[in-house]
């Protein structure tokens, strides 16, 4: 039936974009082309963490446990997205859960925490490859703070598979009150007999580092390890694996502290085109367009005075200055014109 | 009526002018938000609602009244989509919203002109080289002589007639504009490049013709001739209206022209100055401005082509005050006065320079 509707013979009567626009006019939340989701329920995990069960529309193409997804809200007219790990495993009814830590000055996470059942959010498509490479090999999961979220999804997946797997979960939190998913993990222990939970509360037991591994998980070297936590936390464990030449069996998901800062003193700053994996440097005061051309790249361009938008690219991260008006950009993702933007920090651009 | 004289500023004044205008721009940019998002979405809803009611009345209505109402409604939809939504979205006025359906580089509008062609001929060429003879191909559209600096040929004598044709078929004029047929005919463009340039035009025009003159008439069954005629009239009304508004933007009596050698080392302030002196505004009410896509604020639009259009009306008094401070003429008047100025120019420069009686230039 659906394939008949998609037949080119019916064109343009079956143009999805047009029908989507029509639906969107009737109800701004309806779309045939853009992935969106409706909030089914909200679960308060801790004073600063809540989980949201979401039901996506047909434009969402599904996910695998351990992946992450961009979730967006319109704030003051601007559609803003943040990435979250799925904290559930794929289910027959297609709904899924994300678990959101409210950031101290985060406008988006604050707005997400206002969501109620029935509300709608924008979605990206699932991405990432964060899951054990083997179905059966012994596993070590290390999670710091809200880094537990992908682990919840992965453990749900293991529980569903019915394979009794040797899994050690090392959960690190600052205070006991910040513990996420305690009841759920207790239930997991029942369905995965091979699951061993270790809890480290740093306020009581002191900062954990890779050195603690030998005492907590003596056989860690023979386990495939997945780690999720802040960049500094991840770094210390990464070094330990590096020293033993075991980096190949470690997968890391980092979050936080990636916000770029303005670097006034740097004579040149690195610029990365993420889609083509090309990188180059731009001097202070040099436009990104001129810098790219200087190394032989050929980005699209038009007027070279910032009015025609031909050279417009999506900045993923980094701070740029408008060469005409001196305007300083934000640090996150937004549109910039290469011809009138000069970097003030490391900049990542998806062309 | 006093003529608005062209004014040239010294480098210091130009720097100061650029700084003042940049400040206006920054202030607006910092205040973009919900209000602008609501505006453009409401406009999209008007476009859709009037298109549905227009096509519905033409297809399923009977009698002359519903026919007229259908034509008016469809023409309204096309005008609002082309002017307030399409033109403005494609300038990047709403890119900051991060809504893919309002993105300047992917938006496709309801007209036979291909979006990619428009982005090039309009955003890149016209807005950059505004009113520079030989560079701004919108100046006279390659067929009208509007200043003595342009060459006269015997064909120029008939330009009032050429203009009438252009106004009636305006969307086609716009559609073939970026193919640059003239360059191909003069042998300055290879066959392969020409074919590549024609392709988007054929694709887009084919789709639009099919929709207005085959698909919707057929869907109306026995009402097919009525729908066909109604669609033709709606397109005609849109053509005449958009043409009149667009011609008032840069071809009014006091809109100035620039020569290539004048702008060879133009600074940003001089670019701003040229945008002001090459453009002219139209005065009117809120719905008049909406139906012109705020091109009635051509001066503000050319200074800041990527600010949401309804903001032009808000900053116009400020821009006008800045112009007054620098002694720059601010070309603004009612529609009829400006449009008669345009028609006057079309007639006046149809004549070769010497044979024209001096009286008319007063």
Each residue of A176-197: pLDDT tens digit? 998 999 999 999 998 899 999 9
Domain ranges of chain B: 11-355
> Does residue A1 register a pLDDT over 70?
no
Nearest CB to A77: which of B36, B44, B211? B36
Contact A154, A65 (CB under 8 A): yes
C-alpha span between A308 and B125 (Å, rounded): 9
Quote the number of domains for chain A: 3
The string over A108-129, giving b where at least 16 C-beta atoms fall within 10 Å of a residue's C-beta and e elsewhere, is bbebbbebeeebbbbbeebebe
- Inter-chain touch B271–A79, beta carbons under 8 Å: no
What is the ipTM for the molecules in this complex? Answer: 0.86
Q: Identify whether A18 is part of a domain.
A: no
pLDDT score recorded for residue A14: 65
A68-84 mean pLDDT: 94
Q: Identify whether A287 is part of a domain.
A: yes
pLDDT confidence tier of residue A68, bands split at 50, 70 and 90? very high
Judged by a CB distance cut-off of 8 A, whether residue B135 touches chain A is: no
Judged by a CB distance cut-off of 8 A, whether residue B318 touches chain A is: no
Same domain, A234 and A274: no
pLDDT score recorded for residue A19: 77
CA distances from B39 to B93, B108, B149, B151 (A): 12, 19, 42, 45
pLDDT confidence tier of residue A274, bands split at 50, 70 and 90? confident
pLDDT in tens, A16-30: 777 777 777 777 667
Same domain, A114 and A43: yes
Judged by a CB distance cut-off of 8 A, whether residue B240 touches chain A is: no
Judging contacts by C-beta atoms under 8 Å, the chain B residues touching residue A77 are 32-38, 96-97
Judged by a CB distance cut-off of 8 A, whether residue A35 touches chain B is: no
Judged by a CB distance cut-off of 8 A, whether residue A6 touches chain B is: no
Among A36, A74, A309, A310, most B C-beta atoms within 10 A, so best to mutate, is: A309
Contact A35, A71 (CB under 8 A): no
Q: What is the pLDDT along chain B (362 residues), one digit of tens a residue?
A: 678 899 999 999 999 999 999 999 999 999 999 999 999 999 998 999 999 999 999 999 989 999 999 999 999 999 999 999 999 999 999 999 999 989 999 999 999 999 999 999 999 999 999 999 999 999 998 889 999 999 999 999 999 999 999 999 999 999 999 999 988 999 999 999 999 999 999 999 999 999 999 999 999 999 999 999 999 999 999 999 999 999 999 999 999 999 999 998 899 999 999 999 999 999 999 999 999 999 999 999 999 999 999 999 999 999 999 999 999 999 999 999 999 999 999 999 999 987 655 544 43
A150-160 mean pLDDT: 95
C-alpha span between A156 and A333 (Å, rounded): 32
Provide the CATH number for the domain around residue A104: 2.40.30.10
C-alpha span between B115 and B185 (Å, rounded): 24
Judging contacts by C-beta atoms under 8 Å, the chain A residues touching residue B22 are 324-325
pLDDT score recorded for residue A30: 77
Same domain, A143 and A250: yes
Provide the CATH number for the domain around residue A284: 3.10.20.30
pLDDT score recorded for residue A260: 72
Closest-CA residue of A relative to B38 is: A77
Q: Is the dihedral angle over the CA atoms A157, A163, A167, A169 positive or is it negative?
A: positive
Residue in the block written with tokens 């002018």 = B17
Strands A68-75, A224-230: pairing is: unpaired
Q: How far is A98 from chain B (nearest CA, A)?
A: 23
pLDDT score recorded for residue A2: 64
Residue in the block written with tokens 């695998």 = A64
Provide the CATH number for the domain around residue A166: 3.40.50.80
Q: Which of residues 246-285 of B touch A (CB under 8 A)?
A: 268, 271
C-alpha span between B125 and B288 (Å, rounded): 27
B122 — phi, psi (to 5°)? Answer: -95, -60
C-alpha span between B65 and B63 (Å, rounded): 6
- Inter-chain touch B98–A80, beta carbons under 8 Å: yes
C-alpha span between B106 and B89 (Å, rounded): 10
Judged on CB neighbours under 10 Å (0-12, 13-18, 19+), A56 is buried
Closest-CA residue of A relative to B119 is: A308
Last residue of a domain, one of A72, A98, A123: A123
Whole-model pTM: value is 0.90
Closest-CA residue of B relative to A72 is: B98
Nearest CB to B45: which of A12, A25, A303? A25
C-alpha span between A334 and A331 (Å, rounded): 9
> Does residue A158 register a pLDDT over 60?
yes
Q: Which of residues 246-305 of A touch B (CB under 8 A)?
A: 302-303, 305
pLDDT score recorded for residue B9: 93
Q: Identify whether A223 is part of a domain.
A: yes
Among B117, B124, B206, B219, most A C-beta atoms within 10 A, so best to mutate, is: B124
Same domain, A283 and A220: no
| Domain of residue A220, residue span | 139-255
Last residue of a domain, one of A255, A282, A315: A255
Q: Find all residues with CB under 8 Å of B328, minimum gap 6, and list them.
A: B7, B9, B273, B276, B277
Contact A150, A130 (CB under 8 A): yes
Q: Identify whether A337 is part of a domain.
A: yes
pLDDT score recorded for residue A93: 87
Please give the angle made by the CA atoms of B102, B103 and B108, to the nearest 5 degrees. Answer: 80
pLDDT score recorded for residue A21: 74
- State chain A's mean pLDDT as an integer: 89
Among A79, A302, A306, A308, most B C-beta atoms within 10 A, so best to mutate, is: A308
Between B168 and A215, the more confident residue is B168
pLDDT score recorded for residue A92: 85
Judged by a CB distance cut-off of 8 A, whether residue A107 touches chain B is: no
Same domain, A186 and A289: no
pLDDT score recorded for residue A268: 86
Judging contacts by C-beta atoms under 8 Å, the chain B residues touching residue A18 are none
Least confident of A6-15, A262-271, A340-349, B40-49: A6-15
Same domain, A168 and A247: yes
Last residue of a domain, one of A92, A123, A154: A123
DSSP A163-221: ----EEEEEEESSGGG--SHHHHHHHHHH-TTEEEEEEEHHHH----GGGHHHH-TTGG
- Inter-chain touch B105–A34, beta carbons under 8 Å: no
Same domain, A279 and A224: no
pLDDT score recorded for residue A259: 66
C-alpha span between A107 and A76 (Å, rounded): 11
pLDDT in tens, B197-227: 999 999 999 999 999 999 999 999 999 999 9
Peptide bond into A12 cis (omega under 30): yes
Q: Identify whether A119 is part of a domain.
A: yes
pLDDT score recorded for residue B360: 47
Chain-centroid distance, C-alpha A275 = 17
CA-based nearest residue to B124, from B113, B135, B114: B135
pLDDT score recorded for residue B109: 94
> Does residue A10 register a pLDDT over 70?
no
Please give the angle made by the CA atoms of A196, A200 and A201, to the nearest 5 degrees. Answer: 145
A67-85 mean pLDDT: 94
């Amino acid at each position: 039936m659906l394939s008949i509707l998609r037949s080119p013979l019916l064109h343009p009567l079956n143009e999805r974009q047009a029908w989507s626009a029509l639906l969107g006019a009737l109800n701004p939340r309806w779309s045939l082309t853009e992935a969106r989701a409706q909030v089914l329920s909200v679960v308060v995990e801790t004073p600063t963490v809540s989980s949201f069960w979401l039901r996506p529309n047909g434009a969402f193409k599904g996910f695998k446990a351990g992946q992450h997804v961009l979730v967006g809200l319109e704030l003051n007219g601007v559609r803003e997205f943040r990435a979250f790990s799925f904290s559930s495993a794929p289910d027959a009814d297609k709904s899924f859960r994300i678990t959101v830590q409210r950031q101290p000055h985060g406008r988006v996470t604050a707005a997400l925490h206002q969501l109620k059942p029935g509300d709608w959010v924008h979605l990206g498509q699932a991405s990432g490859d964060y899951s054990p490479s083997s179905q059966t090999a012994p596993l070590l999961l290390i999670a710091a703070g809200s880094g537990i979220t992908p682990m919840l999804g992965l453990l749900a997946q293991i529980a569903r598979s019915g394979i009794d797997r040797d899994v050690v979960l090392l959960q690190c939190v600052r205070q006991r009150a910040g513990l996420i998913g305690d009841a759920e993990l207790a239930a997991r222990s029942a369905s995965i007999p091979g699951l061993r939970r270790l809890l480290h509360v740093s306020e009581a037991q002191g900062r954990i580092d890779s050195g603690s591994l030998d005492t907590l998980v003596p056989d860690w070297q023979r386990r495939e390890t997945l780690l999720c936590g802040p960049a500094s936390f991840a770094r210390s464990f990464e070094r330990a694996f590096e020293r033993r030449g075991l980096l190949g069996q470690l997968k890391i998901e980092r979050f936080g502290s990636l916000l770029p800062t303005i670097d006034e003193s740097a004579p040149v700053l690195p610029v990365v085109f993420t889609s083509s994996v090309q990188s180059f440097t731009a001097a202070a005061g040099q436009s990104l367009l001129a810098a790219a051309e200087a190394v032989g790249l050929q980005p699209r361009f038009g007027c070279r005075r910032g009015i025609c938008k031909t050279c417009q690219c999506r900045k993923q991260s980094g701070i740029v200055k408008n060469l005409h008006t001196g305007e300083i950009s934000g640090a996150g993702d937004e549109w910039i014109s290469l011809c009138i933007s000069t970097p003030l920090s490391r900049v990542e651009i998806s062309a | 009526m006093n003529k608005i004289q062209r004014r040239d500023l010294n480098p210091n004044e130009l720097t100061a002018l650029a700084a003042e205008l940049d400040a206006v721009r920054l202030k607006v940019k910092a205040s973009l938000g919900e209000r602008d998002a609501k505006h453009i979405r409401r406009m999209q809803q008007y476009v859709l609602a009037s298109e549905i009611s227009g096509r519905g009345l033409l297809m399923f209505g009977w009698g002359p009244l519903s026919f007229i109402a259908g034509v008016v409604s469809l023409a309204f939809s096309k005008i609002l989509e082309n002017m307030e939504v399409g033109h403005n979205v494609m300038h990047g006025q709403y890119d900051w919203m991060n809504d893919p359906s309002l993105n300047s580089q992917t938006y496709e509008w309801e007209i036979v002109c291909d979006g990619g062609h428009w982005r090039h001929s309009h955003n890149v060429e016209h807005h950059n080289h505004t009113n520079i003879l030989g560079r701004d191909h919108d100046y006279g559209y390659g067929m009208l002589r509007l200043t003595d600096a342009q060459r006269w040929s015997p064909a120029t004598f008939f330009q009032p007639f050429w203009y009438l044709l252009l106004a009636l078929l305006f969307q086609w004029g716009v559609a073939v504009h970026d193919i640059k047929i003239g360059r191909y005919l003069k042998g300055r463009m290879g066959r392969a490049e020409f074919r590549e340039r024609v392709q988007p035009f054929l694709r887009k025009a084919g789709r639009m013709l099919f929709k207005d003159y085959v698909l919707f008439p057929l869907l109306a069954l026995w009402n097919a001739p009525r729908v066909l005629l109604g669609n033709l009239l709606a397109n005609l009304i849109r053509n005449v209206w958009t043409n009149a508004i667009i011609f008032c933007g840069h071809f009014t009596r006091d809109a100035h022209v620039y020569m290539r050698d004048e702008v060879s080392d133009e600074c940003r302030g001089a670019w701003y100055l040229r945008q002001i002196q090459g453009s002219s505004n139209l005065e009117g009410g809120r719905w008049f401005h909406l139906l012109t896509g705020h091109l009635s604020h051509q001066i503000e639009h050319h200074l800041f082509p990527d600010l949401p259009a309804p903001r032009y009306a808000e900053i116009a008094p400020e821009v006008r005050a800045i112009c007054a401070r620098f002694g720059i003429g601010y070309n603004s008047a009612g529609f009829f006065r400006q449009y008669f100025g345009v028609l006057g120019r079309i007639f006046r420069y149809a004549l070769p320079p010497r044979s024209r009686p001096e009286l008319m230039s007063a």
